[in-house]
Amino acid sequence: MTFKTEREYRKDLAEVCSLMYAKNFISSTDGNISLKYKEDRILITPSGIHKGFIKPEAFIVVDLNGNKISGARKPSQEVHMHTEVYRRRKDICAVTHAHPPYCIAFTLAGLDLGKTFLPEVVLSIGEIPIVPYTTPTSEEVPQAIGSYIDHHDALILDRHGSLTLGTSLWDAFIKLERMEHVAQVMFLARQLGPVKHLTSGELQKLHHLTS
């Protein structure tokens, strides 16, 4: 992670929120993102604010337990989902939670994105599991994601949204962007006919590239 001033991190967070809104990954006050910029300090979106027009100064500072340190508003209601990630994954510095339409649509239809369709998914994200449904903003969510985030950087929350983890803010955003793109490709492919999997031999070659 590149070290910057808190002010610079705030600007980056506001820019990513704006991009998430512009790309239709979130709407209105939906979604939340965070950045661990010190060992025990996290910048996170406030609750109930439009992410498309958020200002750098609006972000809230919390500790690793989700307690508010500074800021004018309340932190996101999903704050404990974010802190669960940072407690379990010391390598992670940023988290995005969005409501990408195609990813959510797959869960509403009882489908998953699979893990053996597109080479770029195997290389950059790996398997994208679906976390069973839990009540949004409740303590059920951090409990449910625990075993998944130990081994995955990109998750779909059943009928809720997406969760991506990154070693930087832009890394987390890129994983979100790629995941929704994959969902769009899979949606189109299913309209045209049966979807082809990568063969075991093709997968083996890809895994050699990342080993």
Q: For the segment 16-40, what is each residue's pLDDT rounded down to a tens digit?
A: 999 999 999 999 999 999 999 999 9
Q: Is the pLDDT assigned to residue 114 strictly greater than 80? A: no
Residue 189, in any domain of the structure: yes
Give the DSSP letter of residue 53. G
pLDDT for 113: 81
Give the DSSP letter of residue 198. P
State mean pLDDT over 8-17.
98
* CATH code where residue 172 lies: 3.40.225.10
The total of structural domains in the chain comes to 1
pLDDT for 122: 81
State mean pLDDT over 179-207.
90
pLDDT for 127: 85
pLDDT for 123: 80
Q: What is the pLDDT of residues 54-96, one digit of tens each?
A: 999 999 999 999 999 999 999 999 999 999 999 999 999 999 9
pLDDT for 196: 85
- Percent of the chain with pLDDT strictly greater than 90: 82
pLDDT for 1: 60
CA angle 161, 167, 172 (to 5 degrees): 25
Q: Is the pLDDT assigned to residue 2 strictly greater than 80? A: no
Q: Is the dihedral of CA 28, 33, 37, 41 positive or negative?
A: positive
Strands 130-131 and 154-157, sheet pairing: parallel
State both tokens at 182: 């994959």
Note down the domain range covering 18: 6-210
Catalytic residues: 78
Q: Is the pLDDT assigned to residue 195 strictly greater than 90? A: no
Residue 30, in any domain of the structure: yes
Residue 1, in any domain of the structure: no
Is 21 exposed, middle or buried (CB count within 10 Å of its CB: 0-12, 13-18, 19+)? buried
Residue 109, in any domain of the structure: yes
pLDDT for 204: 86
Give every CB contact of residue 106 below 8 A, 6+ residues apart in sequence. Answer: 112, 113, 156, 183, 186, 187
Place of tokens 């839990």: 134
Residue of higher predicted confidence among 122 and 93: 93
pTM above the 0.85 mark?
Answer: yes
Best CA proximity match to 161, nearest among 193, 136, 126: 136
Query: What beta strand segments (E) does the chain contain?
Result: 32-38, 41-44, 60-62, 68-70, 94-98, 130-131, 154-157, 161-166
